[in-house]
Amino acid sequence: MRLAIARADAMRLKVFDLTLATFIALSCFLQADDAARVPDVARYFTYAPKPEYPELARETHLEGSGRFEGFIDLKTGAVTKVLVVQSTGYRVFDTAAIASIRRWQAKPDTIETFYVPLTFSMGGSVEAQLRAARAHTTYAPAPVYPYAMWRYGVHSGGRYQLTVDPETGTVGAVKVLAASRVLSFDQSCVKAFRQWRFVPHTVTTVRVPFSF
């Protein structure tokens, strides 16, 4: 009886090892396949216009990065569909990216699908980036300067990412992207940013720099 149980356990371990190995191999294959599907534009496309920076986003200093997947008619080389794989965080950027990629023209009988990573960036000062982050807010209290740090003249700053519920405009989570090196500063920022409210259906993620 014990021998039978031991053999059964050994078989389960072998099956588990095989399943794990298959999963790892499949994961590596998918990662390699994804990388291969970011096209050499000059090689596969005869026309690939860059998206225009939306005027509204330029005026409010919005920035964002996203990833898009395009599908091509092999016979004509025309892009038939574009999907948002990872949103830029702003509908205005996603719309501009999709409109641009839909105009791409591939060489016939070359590729059927491809990925396009895109970044909309203007650079600018911390103040400009903070104004951009507040562009779609209905309520945006500033972090409170911790009294002890203010008293001794301690200054620092960090960068934070807010995850926003698009339906309600409420902040669900705040992630510290670059810590300020002063714990009380980060705690104050996280506490304040969790109270921010945005106009519904405008943003899903917002990056906020802040300096004390």
The CATH classification number of 41-120 equals 3.30.2420.10
- What's the average model confidence in pLDDT over 91-96? 90
The reply to whether 41-120 and 126-211 are identical in fold is yes
pLDDT in tens, 71-83: 999 999 999 999 9
The CATH classification number of 126-211 equals 3.30.2420.10
Predicted confidence at residue 60, as pLDDT, reads 61
pLDDT at position 12 over 90: no
Cα separation, 70 vs 29, in Å, equals 20
State which H helix or E strand residue 71 sits in. strand 64-72
Predicted confidence at residue 53, as pLDDT, reads 85
* Residue 22 vs residue 171, higher pLDDT: 171
Q: Are 203 and 89 in contact (CB under 8 A)?
A: yes
pLDDT in tens, 189-208: 999 999 999 999 888 888 88
Predicted confidence at residue 61, as pLDDT, reads 60
Cα separation, 55 vs 53, in Å, equals 6
> Which one-letter amino acid corresponds to residue 165?
D
pLDDT at position 122 over 80: no
Largest CA distance in the chain: 77
Predicted confidence at residue 104, as pLDDT, reads 95
Domain extent listing, the chain: 1-36, 41-120, 126-211
- What's the average model confidence in pLDDT over 84-112? 92
pLDDT at position 136 over 90: no
Cα separation, 15 vs 137, in Å, equals 53
pLDDT in tens, 25-78: 323 333 334 444 566 777 899 999 989 888 777 766 677 788 899 999 999 999
State which H helix or E strand residue 12 sits in. helix 2-36
Tokens matching residue 138: 């209905």
pLDDT in tens, 146-202: 988 888 878 777 888 999 998 999 999 999 888 877 899 999 999 999 999 999 988
